[in-house]
Amino acid sequence: MFKKITALTLAAGLLVPSTVSALEPLQTGKQAPAASTQITSVAYTTVSIVGKRVKFEVKALENPFNMNYYNRIAWTSTDEEPSVFNDNILSVIVAKKTGQAYQVFSYEALTSVKDKIESGQKVYGWALALNGVWYPTMPATLYY
């Protein structure tokens, strides 16, 4: 009886499609990098005018902003990853060796920001993780 149940179970298992092939080993812990425009965290960008400067912020990071988790944070004028080739970088801040804050900010002169982005346009925040992947945050709109 036990042999019949085992045989039927194996036969049924062969008929049911599976997402894992017996010929392919399981790869645990590996994930494909997130698409550059896919929001993968709750982190978000804020932007405001403070006197003659623009204050860029990324808040609600998943880890403290330090070199154990991040390389840098950048803010861009487009929804593309920060790049000198795209000329879309508005501001950048490099991670310090230590730090416990889950938010980070940077200031830039309003005149230099006006050269790259119009009032009413979105500002995109990006976190460069240690794995070399830029992770986007929720964008904010700049009004000046």
Greater model confidence, 121 or 22: 121
**Sequence letter at residue 143:** Y
127-130, long-range: CB < 8 A, 24+ apart: 127/41, 127/43, 127/58, 127/61, 127/70, 127/72, 127/73, 128/70, 128/71, 128/72, 128/73, 128/74, 128/82, 129/69, 129/70, 129/71, 130/68, 130/69, 130/70, 130/71
Which residue range forms the structural domain that includes residue 90? 41-141
Question: Is 78 within the bounds of a domain?
Answer: yes
> pTM of the full predicted structure?
0.72
Q: What integer pLDDT is reported at residue 41 of this predicted model?
A: 65
Question: Is 28 within the bounds of a domain?
Answer: no
Question: Is 20 within the bounds of a domain?
Answer: no
Band of residue 13 on the pLDDT scale cut at 50, 70, 90: very low
Band of residue 38 on the pLDDT scale cut at 50, 70, 90: low
Percentage with pLDDT > 70 across the chain: 72
Question: Is 81 within the bounds of a domain?
Answer: yes
Q: What integer pLDDT is reported at residue 101 of this predicted model?
A: 96
**Mean per-residue pLDDT over the chain, rounded:** 81
Q: Can you tell me the mean pLDDT for 90-117? A: 97
Question: Is 124 within the bounds of a domain?
Answer: yes
* Number of separate domains in the chain: 1
CATH code, domain with 103: 2.60.40.730
Question: Is 93 within the bounds of a domain?
Answer: yes
Cα separation, 105 vs 48, whole angstroms: 11
Q: What integer pLDDT is reported at residue 126 of this predicted model?
A: 98
Q: What is the pLDDT of residues 40-72, one digit of tens each?
A: 569 999 999 999 999 999 999 999 999 999 999
Question: Is 63 within the bounds of a domain?
Answer: yes
Based on the number of CB atoms within 10 Å of its own CB, is 18 exposed (0-12), middle (13-18) or buried (19 or more)? exposed
Q: What integer pLDDT is reported at residue 32 of this predicted model?
A: 42
Question: Is 35 within the bounds of a domain?
Answer: no
Asked whether residue 23 carries a pLDDT value surpassing 80, the answer given is: no
